[in-house]
Amino acid sequence: MSGIKQLANQTAWYGLSNIIGRFINYLLTPILTSIYAPAAFGDISLLFAIAAFLNIIYTYGMETSYFRFNQIQDENKVFNNAFSSLLLTTLLFSTLLIVPSNNIATYLSLNGHNEYILYVVGIVGLDTLSVLPFSKLRHEGRPRKFAFIKISNILINVLLVIFFLQICKPAYERGDDTVWKQFYDPNIGIGYVFISQLVASGCTILLLVNELKSYRFDIDKKLFKEIFIYSSPLIIVGFGGMINETIDRFMIIQRFNGSVEAAKAANGIYSANNKLAILIVIFIQTFRMGAEPFFFKTSAKEDAKITYARIMNLFVIACCCCFLGVVLFLDVWKYFMGVKNNPSYAEGLYIVPVLMVSKIFLGIYYNLSIWYKLTNKNTIGAVITMIGAGVTILINYLFIPSLGYLACAIANISCYGIMMLMSYWLGNKYYSIPYHWMKSLGYMVSSYLLYLAHHFYRAQSSDLFMIHLMGVALSMVFIVIVLVLEKQEFKKIPYLQKIYFNN
């Protein structure tokens, strides 16, 4: 139990930073949607989607390789080689994007704002150089410093956005005789969102300087070759993952049946509603931060597979709780999209449950993927991911013209469902783990049936108090189901032990 307790403790710290950071960052959504129309918000979402793609190319699986090779090589040697590689390729990739920035801006219909591309390249470059220092903190079990720096990054970003758009912009528009209006130029437009993130990313590097003090430039050809062979399929895994998560934003612009402005508006609505899957996304990302180094360290133990199975069961329960926490209270969550100022954002609420289920499938797939990382079969993981990417592209291409952004949600759930099933089947062949699938499936079905019951009641009633009260009641029903079925598991948790033993 000590291993799971350690993972839970570290995940709690990663979760604290992720939840607080995401919540603070999430406050930007109503700010931005109240200032910018859906078309402009669509441009912001598109550029950050591009940044997500570039992050995969820039880091090319080096984070996972760092954890893997730390088990068989000297940590300092692995870090120096990995960071030296990232430093060189970051300079190369950035140059290749900066030179044709005008053409890229034209292709993306950014109205000549090639500086937006430069901002994105700068953000991605700085974030890439912070990946391994953050990995070092995770490997050494220092989640508190990790959390502090992550939260600092987001605070700096959010405060700068508020400064530029909530203080300087109004001062400029009113013509106030204050110094604040000097910091705003209307020609920059949405660029202030990216300038804020660029400054925050730069500050993050400064806060990680202690993790870089011992760094020495080093390229060991033999070690680098081994790392590259291991990590190269992970580039495809990451790239395919980003296709699945972000290609829909590009395809809405290209395949939407309407004008460019209408397509951008649809993209903005879809992106805003996609953010309502925040709870599961936060939990999955939080879990991965603690789980990846933990899984590698645990792999040598005799009971490793049993531990992985127990973790999966608890993971599914947590995801189902996150699912219910959003879909049973959509009438509350929708205000975080800024529907008060732009009611059009609420048009996409009906896709949120579909997106939430797709994120559960994605989280399960992340858990399952440990088999190919431990058995050095990353190529198979790359194939699974690219099949998922093919499903995503095909469904979006065929159905966006007729279904709009609903096609994106259908593509999401289809892609991750197929990837989850394929990974489970292949995992049984190469690294069989005794997962408690009947329980996990039961929890997912139960949570969705509770949502359907609430959805039916919500359609018949206009009393928001009763709708929310029923949401709370149904949430409690699920919790009771879990507590009854997991009695033996929860007896091992100190805080719940007394409750069970006293009954």
Task: Express each pLDDT in 423-452 by its tens digit.
Answer: 999 998 888 889 989 999 999 999 999 999
Asked if pLDDT for residue 374 goes beyond 60, the answer is yes
Nearest to residue 58, comparing CAs of 145, 129, 140, 146?
A: 129
Asked if pLDDT for residue 470 goes beyond 90, the answer is yes
Q: Average the pLDDT over each of 12-16, 78-82, 198-202, 364-368 and give the range with the smallest value.
A: 12-16
Asked if pLDDT for residue 487 goes beyond 60, the answer is yes
The answer to whether 392 and 243 have CB atoms below 8 angstroms apart is yes
Q: Is the pTM higher than 0.75?
A: no
Highest mean pLDDT among 266-280, 339-353, 411-425, 485-499: 411-425
Check residue 259 and report its DSSP letter.
-
Q: Which residues does 263 contact at the CB level (< 8 Å), separation at least 6?
A: 42, 252, 253, 254, 256
The answer to whether 352 and 45 have CB atoms below 8 angstroms apart is no
What ranges in 163-276 are assigned the alpha helix state H? 169-174, 191-207, 209-212, 221-255, 260-274
CA torsion 358-362-364-367 (nearest 10°) is -170
Whole-number pLDDT of residue 10: 58
The answer to whether 61 and 229 have CB atoms below 8 angstroms apart is no
Which range marks the domain in which residue 288 is found? Answer: 2-501
Check residue 434 and report its DSSP letter.
-
Give me the number of domains the chain comprises.
1
Nearest to residue 126, comparing CAs of 163, 161, 86?
A: 86
pLDDT in tens, 124-176: 999 999 999 998 887 787 878 888 898 899 889 989 999 998 889 888 888 87
Highest mean pLDDT among 199-208, 423-432, 484-493: 199-208
Whole-number pLDDT of residue 21: 62
pLDDT in tens, 91-130: 999 999 999 999 988 888 887 788 999 999 999 999 999 9
φ/ψ region of 74 (left if φ > 0, alpha if ψ in -120 to 50, else beta) reads: beta
In this structure, is the dihedral angle defined by the CA atoms of residues 26, 28, 31 and 34, taken in order, positive or negative? Answer: negative
Q: How confident is the model at residue 22 (pLDDT cuts 50, 70, 90)?
A: low
Whole-number pLDDT of residue 275: 79
